[in-house]
Structure 1
């Protein structure tokens, strides 16, 4: 298929673009005017902050994969509307934050954290138009992933692992290479109007902190984290056990990297 990838210079988008190309698809990437070409894929001019340019860029593709960063409610909704109007079936990335705390799966209704509240409406618009939604867990591997890097930096700064709030908070996680294979499966085989989960396992955030801290960890009080990081710190206290069983079964998706803790403890590992 002829596929446009939005966010192809980012952590997830670059992996998805590479996996799609490896699978034999013709991959083009959105590129802002004036930016230096950053990938080997064909650039298509467009800007996430300019919905009209998104509509022009996305016209004529068999699939449009949106793995760009969230920019806020007004820009994200306008961007999705523009991509839907372009007519190419959309594969849109949201995330586990769109789900509430506790145990959830692909059929659970969104209950988003306030920091990403509008993403539920993004999903609704994409699905209504016949698009597909991918909700990744916290992505790691290949030296990327904002959460592992942040926690690693805090561990280095304090001399011990650091987690936010109370111990025991669970997070769904996924290696970026496995997540990239899920994008290929969704592009090739997913039915219109569906939601898919990219989670390989559930981990405790304090266990992640201990692995990064050489066996020790301490709590960073939420009030202090909020003062340092802003409202996004609240996401680190969202306790979630998110199933991807339906995705694995229906799309034959089998993650190969199934232990974040082992990854973090491996000699010479890159967070």
Structure 2
């Protein structure tokens, strides 16, 4: 099996590639000039926004793990170009060069509506207002209607492997005015690899799957964990289910997180 990974230089992609290569999987990485991929990955120069450059990268692959995305920017146009137009380019190139390949796309649990009456479920109707989740939902819909063999992993709050993501929560709390009692479904990098391997087996074909661990964490708990100044509030929590995803489908399909909680990650020195 030969796998092409887009977004392989990012926080998620670089860690996933290391695990795939370590497991003996032959991996290619789509990479822009001047960027480096983890050791053992075959680099193929290209850009998700350049459809022609994807042809060589896709030749002979049996699967694509599509992680390329843009999130941490105020440039809404750039978010939509990378997340939606980039996915369209990948779909078109895959149809031409590797029509039998399985495409596994990473998406986000932030897609679900803020006023959901329960943790987000994969079949919920969603209409996200922020550009990042809205663009990812649009990209999901393009892939679902592509006629290709697809699966979509809606990831919880990704953390671990010293990626600095937990440490960003105090800044995000201030930026988005999160209530300290707000809770987010979590997923460790190690278990993204577990989920991707399960998807590569075909267990998730044609499905959207919430990919989360066993225990959501509150903003307060994360802030305390990273040693930042604590923000407290006794005000009622509006939108109590925003940021939380129902992981039951993933469990039914065979997904078992190896890092079940953030507290386990702490014990294992895996933050």
* Superposition TM-score, scaled by structure 2 size: 0.78
1:259 to 258, 261, 265: 261
Q: Is the 8 A contact 1:55 1:82 kept in 2?
A: no
**Cα displacement string for residues 144-172 of structure 1 (whole angstroms, at most 9, x for unaligned residues):** 143x12137899xxxxx999432321111
Distance 1:204 1:10, change over 3 A: same
SS in structure 2 of the partner of residue 217 of structure 1: coil
Which residue does the alignment assign to 1:173? 186
Distance 1:35 1:151, change over 3 A: closer
Which residue does the alignment assign to 1:212? 226
Q: Is the 8 A contact 2:8 2:67 kept in 1?
A: yes
Which residue does the alignment assign to 1:128? 145
Which residue does the alignment assign to 1:150? 168
More strand by share: 1
Which residue does the alignment assign to 2:242? 239
Which residue does the alignment assign to 1:43? 43
Distance 1:163 1:49, change over 3 A: closer
**What pairs up with 1:101-112 in 2 under 5 angstroms?**
101=114, 102=116, 103-112=119-128
What is the CA distance between 1:31 and its match in structure 2?
Answer: 1.7
Could you tell me which runs of 5 or more consecutive residues in structure 1 were left unpaired when the two chains were aligned. Answer: 156-160, 221-236
Distance 1:38 1:240, change over 3 A: closer
More helix by share: 1
1:138 to 150, 157, 160: 157
- Runs of 4+ in structure 1 displaced over 4 angstroms? 152-155
Instruction: Give the distance between the partners of 1:165 and 1:36, measured in 2 at CA.
Output: 35
Instruction: Give the distance between the partners of 2:232 and 2:143, measured in 1 at CA.
Output: 38
**What pairs up with 1:54-133 in 2 under 5 angstroms?**
54-70=54-70, 71-85=78-92, 86-87=94-95, 88-101=101-114, 102=116, 103-116=119-132, 117-129=134-146, 130=148, 131-133=150-152
Instruction: Give the distance between the partners of 1:38 and 1:20, measured in 2 at CA.
Output: 11
SS in structure 2 of the partner of residue 206 of structure 1: helix
What is the CA distance between 1:219 and its match in structure 2?
Answer: 5.7
What is the CA distance between 1:66 and its match in structure 2?
Answer: 1.0
| Aligned residue pairs, count | 245
